[in-house]
Chain A
């Protein structure tokens, strides 16, 4: 693994595409859980960029950050889904537009 082209360039472009698709999903989807899944997709795009740049720089700091991003994503998914369960219990629907008013 010395000085070969590797896949850094292509991986960064792929991470941009994944991030864009995830962002599109967050805007377009109406089911709360699908929106959470698209956020996970964006986080994965960011992870890929971290790993690619870590490979380019030759240090492991990027990968350590990926480790922390994964941990935080796990915690966020757990709490987010618990909130979704509580919301569902309250209004019996998972449509995002049903929750856009703070009343009730």
Chain B
């Protein structure tokens, strides 16, 4: 049962990712990306981390993608006129080959590894919180709040009309 769910979500994630890079209309790409994020959330749940699964939907699919969609709809972005010239096509072919080499080599190594067994662990929110607020990660945690504040101020300043 878990196996079927994992493979179905993985297939959905890969197909949606291909739609993201393949579709001409960026709004369709955005919706495909939302689908990818939700299927990844299912996979996180299957890997035993319910907190990260919920967080993935809340933060990524529920907030970041809404931001993307807002910008796309308000800027009224049309589809790409996709006519790359000769040079463009050659460069695209080179890019595909390079990425294929990367994925192929890394994939070969990973495929031939001995399958790693999952260890038992307690991924409850309480345990996550204990680690996040432990001296090891506390400074980073507080620093990210400053980072978010900086991003907030920066985004408002950048997008403001000078009027």
A interface list, Cβ under 8 A from B: 1-14, 16-25, 27-31, 33-34, 36-38, 40-41, 44, 47-48, 51-52, 54-61, 63-64, 66-68, 70-79, 81-86, 88-89, 94-95
Asked if residues A48 and B6 are in contact (CB atoms below 8 Å), the reply is no
Q: Which of B37, B59, B68 contacts A33 (CB 8 A)?
A: B68
Asked if residues B33 and A63 are in contact (CB atoms below 8 Å), the reply is no
Tell me the minimal C-beta distance from B148 to chain A in angstroms.
6
- B-side interface residues, number (CB < 8 Å): 80
Please encode chain B, from 77 to 92, with 1 for each CB lying within 8 Å of some chain A CB and 0 for all others.
1001010100000011
B75 at the interface (CB under 8 A from A): yes
The number of inter-chain residue pairs (CB within 8 angstroms) is 239
Contacts A14-B14, A61-B131, A77-B68; is A55 near B158 (CB within 8 Å)? no
Asked if residues A55 and B21 are in contact (CB atoms below 8 Å), the reply is no
Question: Which label, helix, strand, loop or mixed, suits the secondary structure of the A interface?
Answer: helix
Asked if residues A63 and B119 are in contact (CB atoms below 8 Å), the reply is no
Asked if residues B59 and A81 are in contact (CB atoms below 8 Å), the reply is no
Q: Which residues of A contact B18 (CB under 8 A)?
A: 21
Please encode chain B, from 139 to 151, with 1 for each CB lying within 8 Å of some chain A CB and 0 for all others.
0100010011011
Which of chain A's residues has its CB closest to B74's CB? A85
Asked if residues A51 and B55 are in contact (CB atoms below 8 Å), the reply is no
Q: Which residues of B contact A8 (CB under 8 A)?
A: 47, 115-118
CA distance A17 to B48 in the complex (A): 21
B8 at the interface (CB under 8 A from A): no
